[in-house]
Amino acid sequence: MPQHTRQSARDGSERAVPGAVAPRPLSAPQPGRRPDRRAVHWWLTQNLLVVVPVLAALAALALLPDAPAWLWLVFAVLCPLGVGYALLTPWYRYRVHRWEASTEAVCATSGWLTREWRVVPFTRIQTLDTERGPLMQLFGLSAVTVTTASAAGPVTIVGLDKDLATALVQDLTERVRALHEDGT
């Protein structure tokens, strides 16, 4: 049975082109793999390292002899907001962040208010990097960054076990190298 694809005419209408081959859709992986569970503790520690000093500085300012009384009101409002942010957002991030590597592409989802789903075909990968900051090392975690020439920037998968991240980068490097050796 002949295949037909649709082409847009200049007037905006579409017409079928007999014999033309429809483009094969990329089998984009459905991101189903979560970050390592230790990522929750890593994100929590990051949040506390920001929130606690800010609240402590605000409380210290409010305790000064000539401090305005409204500083206590600001502290009373920011304290539950900051603590709530520090304690709840790591679990939200863990629930939202996903990643997957299929035989043709790497896929990652992330986001706070708006969720972003990025798919990087192996043919577009330029560099693969791993990152392990001091806190990540403390929790045995790594991040993998997949860089392309896209204007949207790199895709970063955070909160991976360090051994899994190393194996992922090695596997992706071999797959990309095999594609380029094929001449494609």
What does the pLDDT read at residue 9?
Answer: 44
Give pLDDT, residue 8.
41
Give how far Cα 113 sits from Cα of 32, 46, 96, Å.
20, 20, 10
Indicate if the pLDDT at residue 27 is higher than 70. no
In the prediction, which pLDDT does 153 show? 85
Residue 1 above 80 pLDDT?
no
Q: How far apart are CA 127 and CA 137, in angstroms?
A: 22
Which pLDDT belongs to residue 178?
85
